[in-house]
Amino acid sequence: MAKAISMREKKEELDTVTIYIMGQGYKVPSSLTIMKAMEYAGFKLKRGVGCRAGFCGACATVYRKLGDYKIYANLACQTKVEDGMYLTQLPFVPANKAEYNLDEIKPSASTMLRFYPEIARCLSCNACSRVCPQDIQVMDYVQYSLQGQIDKAAELAFDCIQCGLCAIRCPAEIPQYHVATLARRLHGRYHMIAPDTLEQRVKEIEEGKYEKGFEELMSLSEEELKKRYVARDFIDQKKA
């Protein structure tokens, strides 16, 4: 029994890497993400952590690798640790956000330039696209915004999770992810047509039509919810 424990401990020792947090070295399992490795090292994360699944963009991280002069950026919840990795956490990205009333503006290039004049400084270097953890063509939607092609800008920016890494790497100091938000809002307000059933569905929700169903779902176990999810009926969108 003692021999088995010793071999296990030796394996754990071989499967660790050293990372640096605030300049301090920590040995952590090599299988962990940056976020889990920080918690393994004893850090209690209060900011810079959200969904833990790559959807919220709260855990933007800048890091360097051992022997590599480049600065890398990614999401801490989606990036595995590497030996010699130096970490910097960025729970908030300082980027100016414009204020506007959608009912008072129109989807046009002049609107985009009015609220985000920085887009005219775009160098087309594509640094924003290269750093995006969602592989979004950020530079392209900035150019579409500049040209007034709001629908195309909104479509390209649809998967943006507001992590802010694009703005950090931009030499022209463009807050791309705020530009994306304005483009999507303008597109939704002026270009997209609301479904005929929308008002009816809202009315049903307000009248409490689905409350009994919600209560039933809330009372189910996790295992039963999984079964219900797998067995759910799919709606053919083409026929609906």
Q: 13-89 adopts what CATH topology?
A: Ubiquitin-like (UB roll) (3.10.20)
94-143 per-position pLDDT tens digit: 788 999 999 999 999 999 999 999 999 999 999 999 999 999 999 999 99
196-227 per-position pLDDT tens digit: 888 899 999 999 999 999 999 999 999 999 99
What sign for the dihedral angle of Cα 16, 17, 22, 24? positive
What tokens does 230 get? 């797998």
Give pTM, 2 decimals: 0.70
Residues 6+ apart with CB under 8 A from 88: 61, 62, 63
Residue 12 has pLDDT above 80, yes or no: no
CATH 1.10.1060.10 residue window(s) in the chain? 102-190
CATH 3.10.20.30 residue window(s) in the chain? 13-89
pLDDT confidence of residue 56: 86
The Cα 126–Cα 124 span in angstroms is 5
pLDDT confidence of residue 237: 47
32-49 per-position pLDDT tens digit: 999 999 999 999 888 778
pLDDT confidence of residue 11: 52
pLDDT confidence of residue 53: 83
The Cα 66–Cα 77 span in angstroms is 20
C-alpha separations of 64 from 43, 72, 103, 210 in Å: 20, 6, 45, 51
Q: Give the DSSP letter of residue 104.
A: G
pLDDT band at 10 (very low <50, low <70, confident <90, very high): low
Q: 102-190 adopts what CATH topology?
A: Fumarate Reductase Iron-sulfur Protein; Chain B, domain 2 (1.10.1060)
